[in-house]
């Protein structure tokens, strides 16, 4: 009697389901990808109880006839590839023929499908992998209804999270598919509420604006590049749009959302020397690669890929992004001008700045990091680049990172409720946000209010900002809210309350956009305010705000002692 036996189909499918279906969002992904492969132009998603009770994905695609509809639930049944060669020339999102049988083995599925335009389709009911019923149904396109996920695998059901968290993952999944398929309309109705509504868009930029609002796009640089093998389209942070988390970073290869550490690294590396160490860019990277040079058959959920020429793709992305960022940066530096009162302040004082080999002085008193600086020793403040200010006094030289100093001051003011509020904004801001960020902000309006930012729900993934601390008047509210949302979803991090974490994120924004040169008065009051804080020497992230060299230190540095 042999001990080894071949497992029955239902059990085999359950095992396969373990790899493909981790949570409701995995089902949403598979079903949407099937709808995309079926050339749909509209995809509607409906979920209930975070997708645990119900997921319904409906499309207006090609549909299936009766025979195909029944075959679709067989394992390894696919219309997308048929031979060896196809496996290395994949042009569809699906190809494994595993999704439908896997889903059907761990839930109660009802499929409605009919060839496009025919209106004489079929409905099929399957429960835990067993065919229950087939009927005629007057449909065109396809609708798949998935109920009671993991009803027959309680061990897996236990791993599911709250409805809220599962919805979060579903929104994330739809966002990714929507970003790489702007020509398709997507809607999500979660818990009977319209949660996403993205009409067909003319291009990726418009799709991004639909998701993030119009302001968001202003903080991005657009890059298009091509070489023999690869086409790149990217939208990435400009040099004044860094965030405090890795949220909103996307990579697509041949319109498929993927995770790829090497490509991420190539993007980060492009910001070297421009982006502070603990900051993160927002990016949308779309790569088109010859399907023969990329293997998608690596991960059961197709999240990862193997690239034939990883290094050259790394270099390609890195060099193109770096050029674009540098170019944008040059424009930005050229635009860098100081406010009129700062000019008069400079002119009226007896300070003199002279720059070697540059016309910058005529344009304003900004001193670029690249320019050599000569100065008289009596100057009380000298700007070194747009971050550092050197000043003498107290028997030595102090170098101040004025952004860090500002962060410390605002951080403590926010926490202690010492912010100045000129009351409600005359023109409350409307800010559109990605659905996930919107939801988490609304749930936490009260804690956010204690930090001086008063929000209201405007519906349609839009919040109204009714009041903000005066200190944040010029800041990018969209960026701040997005960072607050990231902080909230991260929760409490070690050694610091949630409120402190949020205050640090907000404080950060009040200074990143500090494109302006401070007047002498402003600088004095900044230093005065810094002196009054509990920890004047460190910004809320632990970086120094100022470094002091006494005469003694200088003597040592110059080896005079």
In terms of CB distance, is 64 or 485 closer to ligand ADP?
Answer: 64
Closest contact distance (angstroms) between CB of 142 and ligand ADP is 4
Q: Is 95 in the site for ligand ADP (CB under 6 A)?
A: yes
**Residue 121 contact partner, candidates Mg ion, ligand ADP, none, CB within 5 to 8 A by sort of partner:** none
CA distance 272 to 274: 5
Closest contact distance (angstroms) between CB of 88 and ligand ADP is 16
Three-state DSSP at 274 gives coil
CA distance 551 to 561: 11
- Applying CB under 6 A, among 51, 61, 469, 501 the residue interacting with ligand ADP is 61
Q: Which span (96-104, 117-125, 315-323, 335-343) binds ligand ADP, by CB under 6 A?
A: 96-104
- Dihedral angle computed from the Cα positions of residues 192, 193, 199 and 203, in that order, rounded to the nearest 10 degrees: -120
CA distance 397 to 499: 35
In terms of CB distance, is 27 or 267 closer to ligand ADP?
Answer: 27
CA–chain centroid gap for 435, Å, is: 12
Q: What is the CA radius of gyration of the chain?
A: 28
- Applying CB under 6 A, among 64, 289, 405, 415 the residue interacting with ligand ADP is 64
Give the residues lining the site for Mg ion (CB under 5 A).
34, 94, 99
**Residue 452 contact partner, candidates Mg ion, ligand ADP, none, CB within 5 to 8 A by sort of partner:** none
Q: Which span (28-36, 307-315, 331-339, 505-513) binds ligand ADP, by CB under 6 A?
A: 28-36
In terms of CB distance, is 78 or 461 closer to ligand ADP?
Answer: 78
Closest contact distance (angstroms) between CB of 134 and ligand ADP is 16
In terms of CB distance, is 26 or 62 closer to ligand ADP?
Answer: 62
In terms of CB distance, is 47 or 92 closer to Mg ion?
Answer: 92
Three-state secondary structure readout of 386-425: CCEEEEEECCEEEEEEHHHHHHHHHHHHHHHCCCCCCCCC
Which residues, 140 to 199, sit near ligand ADP by CB under 6 A?
A: 142
Q: Is 121 in the site for ligand ADP (CB under 6 A)?
A: no
Beta-bridge partners for 136: 122
For 468-553, where are the E strands, in sequence order?
Answer: 546-550
For the packed helices 435-443 and 477-490, what is the interaxial angle rounded to 10 degrees?
A: 70
For residue 334, the surrounding DSSP H or E stretch is helix 310-335
Angle at 114 between CA 111 and CA 117, to 5 degrees: 150
Angle at 489 between CA 486 and CA 490, to 5 degrees: 85
CA distance 43 to 59: 5
CA–chain centroid gap for 535, Å, is: 32
Q: Is 483 in the site for ligand ADP (CB under 6 A)?
A: no
Closest contact distance (angstroms) between CB of 67 and ligand ADP is 11
Q: Is 59 in the site for ligand ADP (CB under 6 A)?
A: yes
Structure token pair of residue 147: 């109920």
The site map against ligand ADP for 379-398 (x = CB under 6 A) is: --------------------
For 261-369, where are the E strands, in sequence order?
Answer: 283-289, 294-295, 306-307, 353-355
In terms of CB distance, is 64 or 208 closer to ligand ADP?
Answer: 64
Q: Is 34 in the site for ligand ADP (CB under 6 A)?
A: yes
Write the CA distances from 208 to 25, 93, 345, 462, 475, integer angstroms.
Answer: 21, 22, 43, 15, 21
**Residue 72 contact partner, candidates ligand ADP, Mg ion, none, CB within 5 to 8 A by sort of partner:** ligand ADP
In terms of CB distance, is 129 or 514 closer to ligand ADP?
Answer: 129
Total residues contacting ligand ADP (rule CB under 6 A)? 22
In terms of CB distance, is 142 or 510 closer to Mg ion?
Answer: 142
Q: Is 107 in the site for ligand ADP (CB under 6 A)?
A: no
- Applying CB under 6 A, among 55, 100, 106, 481 the residue interacting with ligand ADP is 100
Q: Which span (33-41, 453-461, 498-506, 537-545) binds ligand ADP, by CB under 6 A?
A: 33-41
Q: Which span (91-99, 397-405, 419-427, 511-519) binds ligand ADP, by CB under 6 A?
A: 91-99
Closest contact distance (angstroms) between CB of 76 and Mg ion is 12
Sign of the Cα pseudo-torsion (258, 263, 269, 270, in order): negative
DSSP 165: H
In terms of CB distance, is 115 or 445 closer to ligand ADP?
Answer: 115
Sign of the Cα pseudo-torsion (255, 182, 251, 439, in order): negative
In terms of CB distance, is 255 or 329 closer to ligand ADP?
Answer: 255
Which residues lie near ligand ADP (CB under 6 A)? 30, 34-35, 38, 59, 61-64, 72, 77-80, 94-100, 142
């Amino acid at each position: 009697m042999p001990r080894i036996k071949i497992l029955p189909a239902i059990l085999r499918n359950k095992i396969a389901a373990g790899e493909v279906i981790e949570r409701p969002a995995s089902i949403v992904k598979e079903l949407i990808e099937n709808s995309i492969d079926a050339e749909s132009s509209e995809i509607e998603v409906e979920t209930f109880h975070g997708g645990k009770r119900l997921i319904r994905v409906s499309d207006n695609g090609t549909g299936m006839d009766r025979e195909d509809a029944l075959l679709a639930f067989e394992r390894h049944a696919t219309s997308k590839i048929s031979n060896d060669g196809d496996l290395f020339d994949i042009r569809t999102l699906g190809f494994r023929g595993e999704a439908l049988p896997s889903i059907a083995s761990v839930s109660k599925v009802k499929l409605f499908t009919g060839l496009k335009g025919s209106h004489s389709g079929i409905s099929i009911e399957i429960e835990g992998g067993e065919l229950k019923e087939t009927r005629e149904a007057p449909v065109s396109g396809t609708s798949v209804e998935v109920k009671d996920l993991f009803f027959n695998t309680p061990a897996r059901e236990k791993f599911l999270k709250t409805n809220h968290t599962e919805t979060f993952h579903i929104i994330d999944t739809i966002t990714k598919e929507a970003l790489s398929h702007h020509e398709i309309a997507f809607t999500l109705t979660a818990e009977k509420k319209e949660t996403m509504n993205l009409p067909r868009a003319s291009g990726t930029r418009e799709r991004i604006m639909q998701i993030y609002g119009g302001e968001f796009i202003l903080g991005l640089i657009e890059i298009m590049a091509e070489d023999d093998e690869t086409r790149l389209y990217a939208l990435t942070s400009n040099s004044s749009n860094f965030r405090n988390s890795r949220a909103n970073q996307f990579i697509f290869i041949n319109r498929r959302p993927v995770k790829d550490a090497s490509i991420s690294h190539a993007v980060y590396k492009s910001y070297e020397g421009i982006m502070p160490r603990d900051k993160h860019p927002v990016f949308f990277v779309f790569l088109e690669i010859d399907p023969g040079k990329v293997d998608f058959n690596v991960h059961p959920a197709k999240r990862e890929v193997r690239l034939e020429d990883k290094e050259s793709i790394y270099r390609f992305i890195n060099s193109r992004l770096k050029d674009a960022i540098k170019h944008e940066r040059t424009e930005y530096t050229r635009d860098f001008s100081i406010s009129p009162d700062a000019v008069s302040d400079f002119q009226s004082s007896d300070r003199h700045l002279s720059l070697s080999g540059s016309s910058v002085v005529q344009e304003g008193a900004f001193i670029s990091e690249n320019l050599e600086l000569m100065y008289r020793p009596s100057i009380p403040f000298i700007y070194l680049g747009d971050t550092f200010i050197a000043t003498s006094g107290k028997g030595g030289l102090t170098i101040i990172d004025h952004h860090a100093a500002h962060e410390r001051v605002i951080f403590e003011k926010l926490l202690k409720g010492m912010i100045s509020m000129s009351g409600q904004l005359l023109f409350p801001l409307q800010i559109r946000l990605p659905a996930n960020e919107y939801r988490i902000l609304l749930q936490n309006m009260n804690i956010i209010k204690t930090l001086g930012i008063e929000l209201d729900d405007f519906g349609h993934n839009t919040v109204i900002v009714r009041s903000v601390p005066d200190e944040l008047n010029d800041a990018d509210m969209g960026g701040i809210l997005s960072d607050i949302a990231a902080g909230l979803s991260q929760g409490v991090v070690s050694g610091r309350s949630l409120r402190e974490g949020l205050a640090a994120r907000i404080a950060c924004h009040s200074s990143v956009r500090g494109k302006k040169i401070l007047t002498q008065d402003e600088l004095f009051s900044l230093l005065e305010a810094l002196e009054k804080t509990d920890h004047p020497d460190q910004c809320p992230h632990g970086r120094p705000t100022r470094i002091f060299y006494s005469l003694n230190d200088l003597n040592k540095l110059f080896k005079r002692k």
